[in-house]
């Protein structure tokens, strides 16, 4: 399948995200980094054999998830070009009033990246805020505030390459 898709779309696609939230039981069973390793390895090798300049991202982790990320970085960090996560922390932002909790998690992830794959950029391929989170009814104005402030906050970290709003 990866061979077929990369052959068909490779001339049009520069960046490939392999899978969605492999650390979530909703998207991969069992949802462990060892189960994901084979898919990531085959996808990376297949795409790079056809398109060596393509950027291959790991499946966006459902959160910074340090345990999952550490195994990926340590055991098969050579099978993705940039680390990729999804961030939905607006409930914490509204509860705490700032991004301290997000910063702690991101700093922990940055430490793992620096240990196992120094210089690797982080992509945030989903950054969002649902209408109802942590028991809070979130208005459109609250979402706008979180997304605007959060986007600037994340992009001020020089090791974050891209942020996509979901």
Note the helical H segments in the chain: 2-9, 33-50, 66-76, 90-96, 100-116, 140-155
**Predicted local distance difference test score (pLDDT) of residue 63:** 84
In sequence order, the 6+-apart residues with CB closer than 8 A to the CB of 119 are none
**Predicted local distance difference test score (pLDDT) of residue 134:** 66
The pLDDT profile of the chain, 166 residues, written as one tens digit per residue, is: 999 999 999 999 999 999 999 999 999 999 999 999 999 999 999 999 999 999 999 999 998 899 999 999 999 999 999 999 999 988 888 888 899 999 999 999 999 999 999 999 999 999 999 876 667 788 889 999 999 999 999 999 999 999 999 8
SS3 103: helix
Q: Report the 10 Å Cβ neighbour count for 40.
A: 23
From the list 160, 96, 88, 78, the residue with the least C-alpha distance to 127 is: 88
């Amino acid at each position: 399948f990866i061979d077929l898709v990369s052959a068909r779309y490779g001339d049009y696609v520069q960046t490939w995200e392999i899978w969605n939230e492999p650390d979530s039981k909703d998207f991969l069973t069992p949802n462990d980094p060892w189960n994901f390793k084979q898919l990531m390895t085959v996808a990376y090798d297949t795409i790079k054999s056809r398109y060596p300049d393509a950027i291959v991202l790991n499946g966006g982790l459902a959160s910074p998830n340090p345990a999952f990320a550490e195994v990926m970085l340590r055991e098969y960090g050579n099978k993705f070009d940039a680390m990729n996560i999804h961030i939905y922390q607006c409930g914490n932002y509204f509860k705490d009033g700032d991004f301290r909790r997000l910063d702690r998690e991101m700093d922990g992830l940055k430490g793992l990246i620096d240990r196992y794959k120094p210089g690797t950029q982080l992509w945030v391929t989903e950054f969002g805020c649902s209408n109802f989170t942590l028991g809070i009814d979130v208005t459109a104005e609250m979402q706008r505030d979180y997304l605007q402030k959060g986007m600037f906050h994340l992009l001020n970290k020089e090791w974050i390459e891209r942020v996509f709003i979901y």
